[in-house]
Amino acid sequence: LSPATGDYYNPDVTQYPYDPEAAAALLEEAGWVAGGDGVREKDGVKASFVITAIAGDTQRRPIAEIAQALWSELGVDVSIEEAQVGDILATLPNGELDASLFNWTYGGGNGEPDARQTLGTGGPNNFSQFSNARVDELLALGVTQQDPAERQATYHEIQSIVADEVPFVFNIFPISYTFYNERIKGLPESVLASLYILQNAYKLWKVE
């Protein structure tokens, strides 16, 4: 979950600091050894995959190029292909892409930790096709709990499981800024994207 979810965010999960030597050791252990061209291979199959990025996306393309360079240092051949958003969305749910760079927003965007759509089995935004019975159980429990402490423990456990299994990797979490007149009161302290500050505005806002 995002730090924007407040107490539901769990910072104490398994971390994976950048360690190319450890990564190379894992590849060697798995039987992927460098061939004559420097690309690792196993049983006659070269270590390679394709990163699909949004066509014309000047923000994500550099991220893909950095990933390509880092994988190359490990002996993995990575190519970059671009596609239109509609084409990517049509193929992501089916698991037809090797890897893709895409934006992700879960829950209601206002600090609500509900992640059933992105982490639940068969969720419409579960692009990695992650499936874990315990996580499904916890996701269903979390949206029904009333006690804040119990609910926090539920979502902390979800994050621990996901961090251990690593079905996806978060590259960046962009910070957005929203400006408003000081006369407006009752705005949420934190939102996952600036547009969500409008959610339920008629219930929350007061103008003095």
Determine the average pLDDT of the residues in 174-199. Answer: 65
For 137-147, what is each residue's pLDDT tens digit?
Answer: 999 999 999 99
Q: Which of 75-79, 174-178, 182-186 has the lowest mean pLDDT?
A: 174-178
Does residue 104 or residue 143 have the better pLDDT?
143
Q: What is the mean pLDDT of the chain?
A: 86
Determine the average pLDDT of the residues in 80-88. Answer: 94
Determine the average pLDDT of the residues in 170-197. Answer: 68
Alpha helices in 11-147 (DSSP H): 20-29, 60-73, 85-91, 116-119, 133-142
Q: What's the total number of domains in the chain?
A: 1
Query: In the structure encoding, which two tokens stand for residue 196, read together?
Result: 């969500």
Asked if residue 151 is part of any domain, the answer here is no
Q: How many CB atoms lie within 10 A of CB 37?
A: 9
Asked if residue 174 is part of any domain, the answer here is no
pLDDT at 39: 97
In which band, very low, low, confident or very high, does the pLDDT at 179 lie, cut at 50, 70 and 90? confident
Asked if residue 48 is part of any domain, the answer here is yes
Give the CA dihedral 157, 160, 165, 167, nearest 10 degrees: 90
Q: Is the pLDDT of residue 148 over 70?
A: yes
Domain CATH number, residue 78: 3.40.190.10
Using the Cα atoms of residue 95, residue 101, residue 107 and residue 108 in order, give the sign of their dihedral: negative
Asked if residue 78 is part of any domain, the answer here is yes
Does residue 59 or residue 178 have the better pLDDT?
59
Contacts 24+ apart (CB under 8 A), 127-136: 127/92, 127/93, 127/100, 127/102, 127/168, 128/167, 128/168, 129/93, 129/95, 129/167, 130/162, 130/165, 130/167, 130/168, 132/161, 132/162, 132/165, 134/161, 135/161, 135/162
Asked if residue 87 is part of any domain, the answer here is yes
For 11-56, what is each residue's pLDDT tens digit?
Answer: 999 999 999 999 999 999 999 999 999 999 999 999 999 999 999 9
Q: Range of 67's domain?
A: 31-103
Query: How much of the chain exceeds pLDDT 70, in percent?
Result: 84
Distance of CA 16 to the CA centre of its chain: 15
Asked if residue 10 is part of any domain, the answer here is no
Asked if residue 25 is part of any domain, the answer here is no
Asked if residue 160 is part of any domain, the answer here is no
